[in-house]
Structure formats: structure tokens, C-alpha cells
Structure 1
Amino acid sequence: MSDQSMPEGVPTPDGQVNMIDTDYDIGQDNIDGKVGPFGFDIHNPVFVISGLSVVIFVIYALMFNEQASEIFGALRPWLTSTFDWFFMLAANIFVIFCLFLIVSPWGSVRLGGTEATPDYTYLGWFAMLFAAGMGIGLMFFGVLEPVYHMAISSPLGVPSPFAEDGTLIPENVEAARSIGLAGTIFHWGLHPWAIYAVVALALALFTYNKGLPLTIRSAFYPIFGDRVWGWTGHIIDTLAVFATLFGLATSLGFGAQQAVAGLEFVYGVPNTITSQVILICAITAVALVSVLRGLDGGVKVLSEVNMVVAALLLLFVLLAGPTVLILTGFGEGLVAYAQDLVPLSNPFGREDDSYREGWTAFYWAWWISWSPFVGMFIARVSRGRTVREFVTCVILIPSLVCVLWMAVFGGTAIEQVISGTGSQVKEYVIDSYSPELSLFGMLADLPLAAITSTIAIVLVIVFFVTSSDSGSLVIDTITAGGKIDAPAPQRVFWCIFEGLVAIVLLIGGGLSSLQAMVISTGLPFTLVLLLMCWAIFKGLQSEKR
């Protein structure tokens, strides 16, 4: 697309921005960057600091594996037990802020100006949003989490339907089934999508309407002014890179463990760290090809294919499973979620520490770490939407789809466990706790298990690829000062090191290490998001409605 055809406020392929009538100073001298060794587009210190830090981290974790494993193992429980209230309080603020924007007079502001039109259809928009946003997570936790909350973690003190000897307590079944779905929907509903919406809206507003570069620092111009082009902005963008990188590495680690576990379950491939490392390397190589093809030629195509395959798998489980119970559970899950939303959101004075600290605090940190990645990705494909349309779609529609997914996969698994037909699900979630096998355990008790399990493995792998390549594009954009078409060697660098970070964290302690690092980076970035809400409010005040 030529520069002449680009709407005002949109970064062009060469990294320049078509200016609009605004009081904001783009600081063009600060976003031009410098082409350094190996073809990297170096944007002030951001690329150098973040790149070198990641390289040092990888070397340290490989050379001092045991020490790193001990540190990572102790870090997560300390962070979640100390700062759980902070994560929960901040997430509540993001939900309230987004709901306010929907009903506020600024909801009619159009991203890109009054004449802007959407670049993508709703179908293409949602496909990219889901594949990049929560694909791997839904596959990993869709069966695991509802069953776990129903039987073990007991949110809000609801008793388990199983006695200590494993026998079923009939009078506890319905309450446990309800809280299992409600406790899961809470982690995949309004709160995570509100977090994504805040970052995406900030980036879209200040890029398309204010003519600033597509990078995290731009959202803070109303607060810090020209200082965003100096060290204040460098720190913000560097934090965004770290948060994105470790949030993405966590998802890649989940995906690798589940895919290899599925290969062992179906085809007998050994489920070892070596197998997981080989899979990460192979998928990173595929992601490199997609990265080099760009947004439309790579991520968009893979996202749409994955959305269709995921929908077909969802439909199969719905029809092959207890259909009536699933559909009933969908409605009951929504009702239970609405009824329990306030008590589940309460950051203080609760008795369910294992649920709040072990699950909710981790999830909120994970979503916050992912927010620069998903937020920037959503912003890039959301020009032309009004603020009201944007926030409503990003929050409500994905939340409903997540509820449906959990009701189908989780509802089927819960019924298998309660009825006694799902011995493998019970073994993998309740008895021996092998979370990466929970999905395959559920599919094993349905028809065509070998075929559907293979499809599930393919879905995880393709979600893996779309997360890796879209994450590389986002980190590349941040470190290049907002340019959306930085040199290919730089995109390759970030794609490779995303895989390496996932590998060293898996080697240095497995999932606990991945979760420890995502919480560590999510904590400071929570403060960034809280400031971002204020910046959005100030930015919208100057917009024509």
C-alpha cells in the first residue's frame, strides 16, 4: 500500500506516520531509529537493552540451571501470596473502566477519525483476536480447570463432591458443578479481555487519532509529554518487551507440554524435556516463515484456518458429549458467573487461598504480561471501529465464546467424572494430576478418539505458531520505535529468542519457572496499565464525537 493511500494517523511501511491535526508532538527524530550491525533497526536503547538482557538471561539459565530452578521455584509462591490483592484490585479497575467507556459520550469516537472504515471484516477480526489471544490457553485449560475447581480448589469454600476416599457425595454435586464452571469463566471472561481492551484502545487511539508511533510509550504522551521520547519512554517500552516475551514464553511452554503429551498419548512419542525442546525448535522454524510473510500473508491465514478447525472440534464434542447437559451448563455457567462475579473479584478477606493465589493471581499476571502483545495486535487490526463498538466486541463477544468453550469441553469432562465414565480425566486431573493430558483424557472417552486427539495436537501446534509469529511482530514493532515493517533480521532475532526463552525456562524448572517469570514481569507492568487508563481518558477528552 502506498503512502498516499494510507489514512491519517496510520504508520506506513517505512515507519513514518501521516500526521493529523493534533497538539501531540510525534517526536519524529526519536522514531527514525538507526540501522546497525546485522541489519537491525535500533531504536535508541530499547532494542539494545531488551535484546542484551534476553541473551544474558538465556545464557545464565543454561549455565546455572540448578540455581535458576531454585530461584524460579521460590519466586512464584512468594509473588502470588504477597501481591494477589494488587493484581485482583487492578483487574477490577480495568473492567469498571471499560464498562464506563461503553456507556460514556466518548463511545462514539471513531478510531482513525470520523471517516475511517474497518480494514477487516468481523470474521477476520475475531479470528486473529482469538488465535493470538487465548488459543493455547483454551486448549490447555478447557478441560483441566473446570474439573479442578469442581473437585479440588473449591472457590468460595464450596465443598468438593468427592470424599477423601474418592467416593461421590451426591448432595454436593450440583453446587460443585456450578462453581467449577463459574470459577473457570471468571478467569476467561470480562477481566482478561478488559485488560487486553485497555492496551489495545490506548495504542489504537494514540496511533490512529493522534498520529503517534505504534508503540506502548505513545499512550503516555498526555501524562509525560515529550519525556516519552526519552528515558521515560525507553523504560515503558522495555518493560513491555519483557512482559510480552515472558508472557509468550509461558504460553509456548504450555503448548509444547500439551502437544508432546498428546503425541505420546496417541502415537507413543516419549514425553520428555528433549521432545519438548525439539518441538519448540521445529515450531519456531515454521513461525519464522510466517513472520517473514507478514501479518496478512502469515498470521491472518493461519488464524482463520485455526478458527475453523477449532469450531469443528467444538461442534464435535458438543454433539458427541452430553449435549443437553452442555447447553444447560452454558446457561447455568453464565448465571453462576454473574452471581459469583463480585465475591470472586473480592481481593480481601476470602478463605480460598489456593484458588486466589494459585490461579487468579497467576492468571491476572499472565494476561497483563500478554497485554502488550495482544493489545498491539488488536490495535493493528481495529482501525475504523468506534470506541463503543471496539470495547463491546473485545470484551463481551470473546467472553461469550470462552464461556461456550469451557461449557462444552469442561462440562463434558465434569459429567464424565461425576458419572464415572471419565476414568482418564479423573486420573489426570484429580488423582495423578497430569494437566497436559486432561484434554486427551476427555477425548478418549468419546468416539473417534484417535482422530480428534490428532486434530487437537494440530490445533495446539498451529496456535503455537500464530502466537510465536504474531508475538515476534509485536516485540519487533516495540523495539523498532513503532515501525510496523522493521528489517527481517530483527524479526528473525525475536522469533528465535522467544523459543529459546521458553526452552530455558522449561529446562530450569518446567511450568513453575514459566509462571514465576510471567508474574515477575506482570507485576510492574500492572502499574503501567493503571496509568494507561488515565492517559486514555485524557486522550478521549480532546476527540470529536
Structure 2
Amino acid sequence: MRDMVAEGSATQDFNIRLMGLNFHRIIFPTSLLIVLALVLGALNDPTAFGQALEGVKGWILSNCDGFIMIMGNLAVLFCAGLALSPFGKIRLGGQDARPEFGLLSWFSMLFAAGMGVGLLYWGVAEPVAQYTEWWKTPLNVPKQTPEALHAGMGATIFHWGFHPWAIYLTSALVVGFFAYNKGLPFSLSSGLQPLIGKAHKGLVGHLVDSFTVVLTVFGLATSLGLGAMQATAGISHVLGIANSFGLQLLFILLVTGLAGFSLWRGMDAGVKLLSNINMLLALGLFLLVVVGVGVLSFFSGVLDTAVNFVEFFIPLSNWIDRPDQDWFQGWTVFYWAWWCTWGPLVGVFVARVSRGRTLRQMVGVVMVVPTLAAIFWFSAFGGGAIAQVIDGTGALAAGLVDVNMAIFQFLEELPMAAITSVLVVILLIIFMVTSMDSGALVVDNLAAGGDPDTAPVQRVLWLVMIALVTITLFVIGGDTALKGIQAGAVAMGLPFMALMLLLMVGLLKALASEPRP
């Protein structure tokens, strides 16, 4: 333990401190140069750049689908195994450590950072897509049939349930354990210490942390840009104004300004407060939708969705001789790779707010509770939307035409559509703010060599840089450049999964040497 603490202190020797700022002299410039190089590549010829990265992404999804699926399944088994084993009693920070945040605030922060925006974006769109064969159907069931309804809802929860949160949780457990229990830097490279010893704070560790900075920056930039497109489509729909580039730029600036203010106020007065507000607003929207679709219909749908999730979990987890190869690679394998682009962001942030929690509590709240929340959310939004398709009600009766508009088209057919549509726009803004907050905190920690206590101005500087990357891509390359960067980020999911395998082994090795609680 003493040796590990000494190693953690030694990493600070690589840092440059200037005017109150604290940057790692290798990780910071390396990651910054890679970000700039990729942005310049995207801007030089957005079409060619996008096609090249789409080609790389396509090759990975087609040829490495087995490995990606195995790693997604392994993450679920790994986290569940830790919770059920004696290791589950180990507490981040030691047995005397106590949680910094209450249970509801803790869950609100991790949920808002993890997939709040995604649930709004895909809450209606994905179930309708799976049911109407917008892009083929899971397991090749006939579209718009009772079988398609069951398979579509089961596949949707499969994509948003245990697997993504297990990927996030693996990163969180590694970072949290080695930082709080071993005194190592707050970074993924610390998880390599049991495998490569002091080399984790050398070139290998620097490359790992630089890679995770780049992955996080581009994952956030593409999410902010694509989120701006959906939010402004909703604003245009609600207010009856044109959806222009100026409106999208205004959204990005608003999110950046609010996120900067939140970061400056700190974790309690900023990030935690916003996350709690978000959860209350999301709960209000959810209840309005439940009333709109019918309470009895909703609870019947919840039971059906849970059964569908269990029924299709094993078939959808399989990667061998899939009858729906195109759907499998285009949806599930893509999702697993995309969750990896958010793996460092959400994982490091969850670790940051989880000191004092046992590994068992981490698995229960970070992996199981969000899956239950997804079942309820998609049953209300997705199940209600499919009912509109079946009944031939509203714009969704024609199928999924515009992903950005799907949730607004669904709400349009329910009572209080004006109120719920405005709530969606507000939630999109605040969810994006909390994601940007947590992302800037993570990038700043990594670029400072794993130092979690940097100055607020330094975190805001990273936030501004992420926003500038998004705006630059938007202004010059449009959504072509953004989607090219997204394809590159997805392609990075493959090496991240290879890294995740090493981190699992390292964590197990370290846990085995821990005194049993």
C-alpha cells in the first residue's frame, strides 16, 4: 500500500503548474495534439474524412463483432460476479469511509451523466424503429406483428440495460478502487499497476490516459452536436420557428454557459443540484406520459416489457451464426462500441462520486437500478408510441421518418402536448449540461495526471475547448464532419474493450490481495 501511494505521488512530478493551473506535461499536450489533428482532418475534407472513418468503423463492426459482444457480456458477468462474491463487501476508500452523497443524489448524478439524453432521444425512436423495420428487425421477426412488438421491446431494454452500465461500472470500479484504496492517480492507467508495476506511470500509462482524453472529448463533442440538432428540432416544433444553424449554435452556447456556471459552483452547488432538478423534471414528464397513455395500459406494458427482456436476453447476447447479421452489427455491436466512447467519461465520474460505497452497492445501484428505470421509461414512451403506430394515430403511424422529431410526434397525440414538449426541451438542455459537466471534470482529471482537485477555471477551460471543437466541426463541416468524428469515436471502442479486459484482470489481482472485510 505504501509503495502504491508513493507511486501516486510520483506521478505529480510530471505536472506543470502555472498561474494556478495544473497540467500533465505528457498527457495534456499529447491528447491536445491528437484532438487538433483529427479536427483538422475532419475540416480539410469532411466528406472524405467521414467516409474513411465510416470505413474503419464498418470494418470493425463486421469483423470484430464477436470480440465486442464477448466483452459486453463479460462486463455484465464480471460486475455481477463481484457483487455476489466476498469482494462485494469491499468499500471504496476503506471500511471506515462513508458516502459523500445521499442515495438519491448519487443515483441522480450517475444517471444524468450516463444516458439521460439518450433516453429522450431514443425513448420513442428505438422501439418504433425495431417494430416497423426502420432498419431491419431483431432476429428477423416479421415487422409490425405481435412478435415484432415483443422482440423490439426486448431488444430496446437489452441495449439500454445491464450491458452499457456494466461497461461504465467496470471503469468506475477500477478507477475508484485504485484511487481511494491504493492512493494511485484518478485515471484508468492506475488499473494496470498490478499487471505492469511502475510502468503504469510511464509511457504505457501516458498513452492510455491520452487515449481516454481523446475518446471522451470526441464522444462529448458529437453528443453535443447531435443533441443540438434534436433539441432545436423540438424548439422549432414547439415555438413554430425555423430550425436554423443559428438556433443550433445558440443551443450549444447555452449548454456551455450553464455547464461552465455549474462547474464553477462545484460538485454540491452545481452538478448535484442540476442532477436532482433533472430527475424531478424527468419524473414529472414520465408521470404525464403514463397518464396520457393510460395507467392500466402502462402497467400491463411494464410487465410485458420485463418478460420480453428476460425472454430475448440470451438470444440477443449470442454472437454465433446470427440470422439477423446486419441488424446485429448495425444495432447491438454499434451500441456496445458507442457505450465505450462514454466508458471513461461515465466510469471516472461515477468513481468520483462513489467514495464510501461498497462494490456490491455499486453494482446494485449503477447496473441494476438503471435497467429497471429503462423498463419503466421505454414501456411508457416506446410502448405508447407503438400503440399509436398500431392504431394508425398521428405522424408515427407512417413509421420512423425523423429520429429528432419522434418524441415530439408521440407527445403531440397525448394530453398537455405543449407542456410535455417544453419539458423535453428543458430536459435535453439540462441533461446535456450535466453530461458536459461530468465530461469536463473527467477530461480535466486525466489531463492533470489523475489529479481530482484542480482549479475550477481549469475545468471550465476544458469545457470551452470541447464546445469549440463542436462548433468548429458544425460551422465548417456540418453534420457530415460530426458523424465522421462519431464514426472515429465508435472505432476507438475496440481498443477500449481490449483495455477493459486488462483492467478487469488487474482489478481481480488487486482485490485478491485485499484483507477481507
Q: TM-score, normalised by structure 1?
A: 0.90
Q: Which moved more, 1:457-466 or 1:21-30?
A: 21-30
Q: How far 1:496 sits from its partner (Å)? A: 1.7
The change in CA–CA distance for 1:271 and 1:348 in structure 2 (over 3 A counts) is farther
- Structure 2 unmatched runs, 5+: none
2:112 to 125, 131, 137: 131
Alignment: residue pair count? 511
1:205 aligns with 2:177: yes
The change in CA–CA distance for 1:56 and 1:515 in structure 2 (over 3 A counts) is closer
Question: How far, CA to CA, are the matches of 1:33 and 1:295 in structure 2?
Answer: 27
Q: How far 1:510 sits from its partner (Å)? A: 6.1
1:231 to 183, 197, 203: 203
**Match of 1:41, SS?**
strand
1:334 aligns with 2:334: no
Question: How far, CA to CA, are the matches of 1:334 and 1:232 in structure 2?
Answer: 43
1:91 to 62, 66, 72: 72
Would the aligned equivalents of 1:132 and 1:463 in 2 still touch at CA under 8 Å? yes
The change in CA–CA distance for 1:460 and 1:112 in structure 2 (over 3 A counts) is same
Map of 2:88 onto structure 1: 107
1:388 aligns with 2:360: yes
Q: Which moved more, 1:58-67 or 1:321-330?
A: 58-67
**Match of 1:58, SS?**
helix
Would the aligned equivalents of 2:390 and 2:397 in 1 still touch at CA under 8 Å? no
Q: How far 1:256 sits from its partner (Å)? A: 0.9
1:49 to 23, 30, 34: 30
Would the aligned equivalents of 2:127 and 2:152 in 1 still touch at CA under 8 Å? yes
What do the CA deviations read for 1:95-145 (whole angstroms, capped 9, x no partner)? Answer: 111111111121111111111111111101101011111011000000000
Map of 2:484 onto structure 1: 513
Map of 1:440 onto structure 2: 408
Q: How far 1:292 sits from its partner (Å)? A: 1.9
What do the CA deviations read for 1:186-231 (whole angstroms, capped 9, x no partner)? Answer: 1111111111111101111111111111111111110111001110
What do the CA deviations read for 1:418-461 (whole angstroms, capped 9, x no partner)? Answer: 1112x21234x43xx21010000000001111111011001001
1:216 aligns with 2:188: yes
Would the aligned equivalents of 1:140 and 1:254 in 2 still touch at CA under 8 Å? no
Q: How far 1:146 sits from its partner (Å)? A: 0.6
Would the aligned equivalents of 2:271 and 2:437 in 1 still touch at CA under 8 Å? yes
Map of 2:429 onto structure 1: 461
1:160 aligns with 2:143: yes
**Match of 1:509, SS?**
helix
Would the aligned equivalents of 1:27 and 1:226 in 2 still touch at CA under 8 Å? no
What do the CA deviations read for 1:465-495 (whole angstroms, capped 9, x no partner)? Answer: 1111210011000110111222344323321
Would the aligned equivalents of 1:69 and 1:509 in 2 still touch at CA under 8 Å? yes
Question: How far, CA to CA, are the matches of 1:92 and 1:299 in structure 2?
Answer: 31
Question: How far, CA to CA, are the matches of 1:300 and 1:330 in structure 2?
Answer: 29
Would the aligned equivalents of 1:158 and 1:179 in 2 still touch at CA under 8 Å? yes
Q: Which residue identity is paired with 1:148?
A: A
Q: Which moved more, 1:279-288 or 1:461-470?
A: 279-288
Identity %: 42
CA RMSD in angstroms comes to 1.9
Map of 2:11 onto structure 1: 30
Q: Which moved more, 1:322-331 or 1:192-201?
A: 322-331
1:534 to 494, 502, 505: 505
Question: How far, CA to CA, are the matches of 1:504 and 1:182 in structure 2?
Answer: 39
Q: Which moved more, 1:136-145 or 1:325-334?
A: 325-334
Would the aligned equivalents of 1:128 and 1:303 in 2 still touch at CA under 8 Å? yes
The change in CA–CA distance for 1:297 and 1:55 in structure 2 (over 3 A counts) is farther
Map of 1:243 onto structure 2: 215
Q: Which residue identity is paired with 1:90?
A: M
**Match of 1:111, SS?**
coil
1:452 to 417, 420, 423: 420
The change in CA–CA distance for 1:508 and 1:408 in structure 2 (over 3 A counts) is closer
**Match of 1:26, SS?**
helix
The change in CA–CA distance for 1:419 and 1:208 in structure 2 (over 3 A counts) is same
Q: Which residue identity is paired with 2:429?
A: I
- Structure 1 unmatched runs, 5+: 1-19, 162-171
Q: Which residue identity is paired with 2:38?
A: F
Q: How far 1:503 sits from its partner (Å)? A: 3.6
Query: Where do 1:284-363 residues align within 5 Å?
Result: 284-363=256-335
Q: Which residue identity is paired with 1:447?
A: P
**Match of 2:123, SS?**
helix
